[in-house]
Structure 1
Amino acid sequence: MNKKYLISVIVFSVLLLVPFGVQAVADLRGEKRFQPFDIFKDVVYTPIVREKKVAAAADSLDVKWRAARESIAAGTETADALEPVTSSLSDLEAAVLSVNTYAELDTTEARYKSLKLADTLLSKLEDEPESFPQADSCIKALVADLGHVSLWRAFLDVKHYGVWTSRYLRAFENKIDDESAIVLALRPKYQLAVWNLFSDPGEKVVLGAAGDCIGKSCGREEAKPEDKWLFYRQDVEFLVQPSPLDVRSAKLDNPVMAIEKFRDQLKAKGVELLVVITPGKPSIYTERLTGRDENAAGLQSHGKKILDSLTRAGFNTVDLYTSLLAAKSRDSVEGALYLNDDTHWTPRGAELAADVIAKKVREMVDAGTVKFRGKDTVRYVASDSLADRMGDVGEMSGLNKFGVFKVQKVTGHVVMQQNIKIRDEELPEDTVCIDSAYKECMNRKKADKKDGKTTDVLCLLTSQTDCAIMAIKYDTTITPFKDDFRKSEILILGDSFSRIYQTDSPVNAGWIAHFAKNMNRPVASIVSDGGASTLVREKLARKASVLKGKKLLIWEFVERDLRFGAEGWKDVNF
């Protein structure tokens, strides 16, 4: 062989093996597993171990279900009896759904549907005892199918989910990329270099116009890149791509159909639905994205148009677009409604949303659409609290570790519940009053010629009683705001716009807490970051008992989820 060719082959082979060798050394020296071994393990070892785990979980479910049936028959509360069953079913789901290291069970599989059906039926039992035979039949079928080790099923899972499938290889490749020692070492430096050279914040981020510099000839071109707002690319793509209802988006799930079905499901349970579509930052601050004066652009967004169509179709809706756009006129005094380097609103934006939503709910109450049993007697107070926010879009860029984007300080208003107890307290005796009353009584009794001893005792008691002064005292305590699933007649489903400031710093300062404060009512919430389209409904389906006693469900989701919602807009049965 020609020496030139031989040298080329050797050099190429070395270059090809360098990444593998570096990763192998890094994995073996560290605590992480050597990833290429996963391929061998998922073909030979994992299928059998998984089958044994599934069979054991199915057997456990069978035992717990039999025990639960006996307990319910003996008079035990359904919820208490079913708790071990629910736990066992969750264990079985975890074992079945995770096929191997890199692949999850397809949602179209019969096993997946059977597990979800069992989950739904169990959650119904407390409120719908008549569904017991169906739940019993479903669980027995699950146990019969999964309660034994099946080599044939293991073989089929390897065939459909193994290393020779695109889903496995894609996940394996992504994992290698994410955990590659070379990539982890070089990527941050590459990202910083691209930012310094081209002001490119990365594939997930769009760099907007400079701060308050809107319009031509305002010096925007000379502004530093780090002074410009950051926008989440999906927020921007939602505005520029066809509407989710457009014929060009036919492959997407239809969000309106999902919303309509959810409304009908809730109505059948006596619960009204209120839809809240949260505008993305580009819909409200389009001018900060483009640099052109486009204050009304948000009113033309796909989200606003879909919201309007829902309103015309008779859905209960809240229009945050109009309110937020109108409130921008106060930005110079009160601060912006959205964070600089984040997808979310500021505390001011969250509190404005709470006001608008509360106003809509009161209108529904006045119109008789919603009828609450309890009175609005819960009282809340709010206090200022500073918080540091490192924007999530800045984090997506990978540049925060270099201090490119700054922490933004915000002032939230933390909501606390005010508990007031009324009690009577007897004040010290008024001796002057008692002496005067006693003398008057004695004179009156003597005039009536009563027995002296009896008169003395009676007059003393009468004077003390007449002069006793009772003061009304108010014992006030302050406790942190919290969800109240038992007493609340309002349930909120939401995404990260419902989570921000509520469960993260400064805590209990999100729109949910301020909505409760405005309504003087307890509320309960189920929140899923990025999953308000389907995942949060699935959470509700697994806990359908939380709908007991509820009269109103407020469903909040950001507009981009109409196209990009995690898991799409799947049908979820309750």
Structure 2
Amino acid sequence: MRNLAEHRREIALKALGTTLVKRNVSLVSLVIFSATLLSVPICQLVSDLQRGESPHVFRAIGLLPVPNLTAIKQYEDTLEEESVLTDWLLPGVQTVLTRVFRTGNEQAYLGRDGWLFYRADVDSLIGAGPQKTASAALTTLIDFNRQLEARGITLIVVPTPVKPTIHPEKFSGRYRNTNAPIHNPDYAAFIDGLRSEGVLVYDPSQLLFEAARQETQYLKTDTHWKPKAMEQVAQYLSAFITEQIELSTDPSTTYVKTAEDTVNIGDIAKMLKLAENQMLFPSERVTRHVVQTPSGNLWRPDQESEILFLGDSFSNIYSLAGMGWGASAGFVEHLSAELARPIDKIVINAGGADATRQALVQELNRGHDRLTGKRVLIYQFATREVFSGDWKLLSIPSDKALQRSAMSIAETITVTATIKAKTEPPMPRTVPYAECIIALHLENVDTSDLPETFVVFLWGMRENQWTDAATFKVDQKVKLRLRPWNSVEAVYGSYNRKELENEETWLLDVYWGEMP
């Protein structure tokens, strides 16, 4: 005779296989499920038609007959960016999650006392996410130093601490009594490795940490430092340079500083994707000091200077107006004022591990030797880059190889050409920067005034919105109005820029493009 347990198991199996649902319940469930499933594309279709745009459902047809993974990803990213339901639902839902449950999102952590932290900064300290060892950064910087030494140039590395390194107590109450900056466990070995190979390193971590015990050094809702903290680091770095390197005895240049107030909301608060009128994280007011010449002209970089500065957004904040914190009052400006001498600079938001080095090598390959007459190269980057950046090795061409000249054009020219390759902007509000420049590799141009193939930079994202250029596709013919890149580089060159990976394109002429 079967036991009770086996009998119950048999009954349960029969019940699972013959579950009965009333017809009216089935119909109602089916209607609700279908309506929910179809509501998203229907709402999107109506929105597209109201705005006079090509419906996304029709764009999907363009993926046929054999879609490739790149085209599929681009379509999905575009659909996510332009989703009307996302725009409608996400700000309200995120506001509730943040206000009631104190929950951030995939880019932002909520700290204490209204402070926000960039997830990539925190992850770089604890080794979470797709982190790397510091060995790649160490190898690349030692190689970079060797190449610069061959040209008689001294490298100074300035790793800039991220916010949770200096203010861990604002992230968690467990760190209220911390007596030293919080770094990745491998950071000390990285610094020691550089110094043991003769690389000069100025690390402002301890200076900022000690100052933070008296007053905050970083913005509450932004990834970057406050003006006063930045200016103090510039002062100490100036002293370090003077102590370590014998600069020329050229007459000093006197600069004047003028105080100005700036009000803005931080980049991390924007990445939370809250409603536009949110009051959870109000704007912050800071006082920055604009650097000017005695005649009243704003500070400008000087390519004839014996100092070249490579830096990221920590050097751009208070200098690049597009970041929202004012202009002409950044790290390089204040370092120049402290040294009482001009400085040349290549400063680009994001990609501190490779963006500025690559920009330098590209200029050298195109025949513009930014290293002529240089004695010092200062390389500033955020410390998170040590463990997450792309530290690819780049070769500096010899000065004898720099003989190429670019084809010149009129101030502007309108052309039609075919896209051979392109770069993609990031998804809006997933990075600390609201703007991004993308690159197009163009060919088959309809004029003999330009080379057969060349590179065009143009906006791929403005104010956290993709531009039309972001949806361009390879093999597509595009009509653009072009200007020489060097005529606008001073205006656009410091914005986050996605470069082409093919090193052969680094030898091509570069232009700035706009939709006609």
Question: Cα distance, 1:506 vs. partner?
Answer: 3.0
Q: Is the alpha carbon distance of 1:352 and 1:174 closer, same or farther for their aligned partners in structure 2, counting shifts above 3 Å?
A: same
Structure 1 window deviating more from structure 2 (183-192 vs 193-202): it is 193-202
Give the TM-score of the pair, scaled to structure 2: 0.66
Q: Given the alignment of the two structures, is residue 317 of structure 1 paired with residue 205 of structure 2, yes or no?
A: no
Q: Is the alpha carbon distance of 1:249 and 1:407 closer, same or farther for their aligned partners in structure 2, counting shifts above 3 Å?
A: closer
- Number of the residue aligned with 1:548: 372
- Number of the residue aligned with 1:205: 108
**Residues 180 and 206, structure 2, Cα contact 8 Å, conserved in 1:** no
Alignment counterpart, residue 416 of structure 1, candidates 283, 289, 292: 292
- Number of the residue aligned with 1:229: 115
Q: After superposition, what is the alpha-carbon deviation per residue over 1:143-170, rounded to whole angstroms, capped at 9, x for unaligned?
A: xxxxxxxxxxxxxxxxxxx6342x4433
The count of corresponding residues between Structure 1 and Structure 2 is 365
The residue type paired with residue 143 of structure 2 is K
Alignment counterpart, residue 342 of structure 1, candidates 214, 222, 225: 222
**Residues 277 and 307, structure 1, Cα contact 8 Å, conserved in 2:** no
Q: Is the alpha carbon distance of 1:42 and 1:271 closer, same or farther for their aligned partners in structure 2, counting shifts above 3 Å?
A: farther
- Number of the residue aligned with 2:67: 163
Structure 1 window deviating more from structure 2 (553-562 vs 542-551): it is 542-551
Q: After superposition, what is the alpha-carbon deviation per residue over 1:32-66, rounded to whole angstroms, capped at 9, x for unaligned?
A: 4323333433557xxxxxxxxxxxxxxxxxxxxxx
Q: After superposition, what is the alpha-carbon deviation per residue over 1:238-257, rounded to whole angstroms, capped at 9, x for unaligned?
A: 1111799xxx946x881111
After the TM superposition, which residues 50-129 of structure 1 pair with which residues of structure 2 at under 5 Å, given as runs? none
For residues 353 and 59 of structure 2, the distance between their equivalents in structure 1, rounded to whole angstroms, comes to 34
**Residues 284 and 297, structure 1, Cα contact 8 Å, conserved in 2:** yes
- Structure 1 residue runs of 4 or more that deviate by more than 4 Å after TM superposition: 2-11, 299-302
The residue type paired with residue 223 of structure 2 is T
Q: Is the alpha carbon distance of 1:327 and 1:196 closer, same or farther for their aligned partners in structure 2, counting shifts above 3 Å?
A: closer
- Number of the residue aligned with 1:403: 279
Alignment counterpart, residue 258 of structure 2, candidates 373, 383, 386: 383
For residues 529 and 195 of structure 1, the distance between their equivalents in structure 2, rounded to whole angstroms, comes to 28
Q: Is the alpha carbon distance of 1:176 and 1:316 closer, same or farther for their aligned partners in structure 2, counting shifts above 3 Å?
A: same
Question: Cα distance, 1:277 vs. partner?
Answer: 0.2
Question: Cα distance, 1:197 vs. partner?
Answer: 1.8
- Number of the residue aligned with 2:92: 189
Q: Is the alpha carbon distance of 1:513 and 1:400 closer, same or farther for their aligned partners in structure 2, counting shifts above 3 Å?
A: farther
Give the TM-score of the pair, scaled to structure 1: 0.59
Alignment counterpart, residue 239 of structure 1, candidates 108, 121, 125: 125
The residue type paired with residue 121 of structure 2 is D
**Residues 416 and 478, structure 1, Cα contact 8 Å, conserved in 2:** yes
For residues 258 and 312 of structure 1, the distance between their equivalents in structure 2, rounded to whole angstroms, comes to 15
Q: Is the alpha carbon distance of 1:570 and 1:191 closer, same or farther for their aligned partners in structure 2, counting shifts above 3 Å?
A: same
Any stretches of 5+ residues in structure 2 without a counterpart? 1-22, 397-516
Q: After superposition, what is the alpha-carbon deviation per residue over 1:185-237, rounded to whole angstroms, capped at 9, x for unaligned?
A: 11111111112220213221112223xxxxxxxxxxxxxxxxx2111111111
Q: Given the alignment of the two structures, is residue 560 of structure 1 paired with residue 369 of structure 2, yes or no?
A: no
3-state SS, counterpart of residue 480 of structure 1: coil
Q: After superposition, what is the alpha-carbon deviation per residue over 1:69-103, rounded to whole angstroms, capped at 9, x for unaligned?
A: xxxxxxxxxxxxxxxxxxxxxxxxxxxxxxxxxxx
**Residues 127 and 184, structure 2, Cα contact 8 Å, conserved in 1:** no
3-state SS, counterpart of residue 387 of structure 1: strand
Q: Given the alignment of the two structures, is residue 263 of structure 1 paired with residue 80 of structure 2, yes or no?
A: no
For residues 233 and 52 of structure 2, the distance between their equivalents in structure 1, rounded to whole angstroms, comes to 47
Structure 1 vs Structure 2 CA RMSD: 2.6
Question: Cα distance, 1:270 vs. partner?
Answer: 2.5
Q: Is the alpha carbon distance of 1:168 and 1:417 closer, same or farther for their aligned partners in structure 2, counting shifts above 3 Å?
A: same
For residues 85 and 128 of structure 2, the distance between their equivalents in structure 1, rounded to whole angstroms, comes to 39
**Residues 391 and 407, structure 1, Cα contact 8 Å, conserved in 2:** yes
Q: Given the alignment of the two structures, is residue 489 of structure 1 paired with residue 313 of structure 2, yes or no?
A: no
Equivalent pairs: percent with the same residue?
30
The residue type paired with residue 321 of structure 1 is S
- Number of the residue aligned with 1:539: 359
For residues 268 and 184 of structure 2, the distance between their equivalents in structure 1, rounded to whole angstroms, comes to 24
For residues 206 and 104 of structure 2, the distance between their equivalents in structure 1, rounded to whole angstroms, comes to 31
**Residues 63 and 71, structure 2, Cα contact 8 Å, conserved in 1:** no
Q: Is the alpha carbon distance of 1:38 and 1:373 closer, same or farther for their aligned partners in structure 2, counting shifts above 3 Å?
A: farther
- Number of the residue aligned with 1:33: 54
For residues 498 and 416 of structure 1, the distance between their equivalents in structure 2, rounded to whole angstroms, comes to 17
**Residues 353 and 386, structure 2, Cα contact 8 Å, conserved in 1:** yes
- Number of the residue aligned with 1:111: none
Alignment counterpart, residue 499 of structure 1, candidates 294, 297, 316: 316
3-state SS, counterpart of residue 218 of structure 2: coil
3-state SS, counterpart of residue 350 of structure 2: coil
Q: Is the alpha carbon distance of 1:479 and 1:25 closer, same or farther for their aligned partners in structure 2, counting shifts above 3 Å?
A: same
**Residues 243 and 249, structure 1, Cα contact 8 Å, conserved in 2:** no
- Number of the residue aligned with 1:511: 331
Q: Is the alpha carbon distance of 1:338 and 1:243 closer, same or farther for their aligned partners in structure 2, counting shifts above 3 Å?
A: same
For residues 241 and 181 of structure 2, the distance between their equivalents in structure 1, rounded to whole angstroms, comes to 27
Q: After superposition, what is the alpha-carbon deviation per residue over 1:473-507, rounded to whole angstroms, capped at 9, x for unaligned?
A: xxxx221101111x211111111100001123332
Max radius of gyration: which structure? 1
The residue type paired with residue 163 of structure 1 is P
For residues 376 and 58 of structure 2, the distance between their equivalents in structure 1, rounded to whole angstroms, comes to 52
Q: Given the alignment of the two structures, is residue 274 of structure 1 paired with residue 156 of structure 2, yes or no?
A: yes
Q: Given the alignment of the two structures, is residue 290 of structure 1 paired with residue 172 of structure 2, yes or no?
A: yes
Structure 1 window deviating more from structure 2 (304-313 vs 541-550): it is 304-313
Any stretches of 5+ residues in structure 1 without a counterpart? 45-161, 211-227, 367-371, 419-476
3-state SS, counterpart of residue 569 of structure 1: coil
Q: After superposition, what is the alpha-carbon deviation per residue over 1:398-456, rounded to whole angstroms, capped at 9, x for unaligned?
A: 236212211111111111112xxxxxxxxxxxxxxxxxxxxxxxxxxxxxxxxxxxxxx
Greater helix percent: which structure? 1
For residues 501 and 303 of structure 1, the distance between their equivalents in structure 2, rounded to whole angstroms, comes to 28
- Number of the residue aligned with 1:466: none
After the TM superposition, which residues 447-466 of structure 1 pair with which residues of structure 2 at under 5 Å, given as runs? none
Q: Is the alpha carbon distance of 1:543 and 1:30 closer, same or farther for their aligned partners in structure 2, counting shifts above 3 Å?
A: same
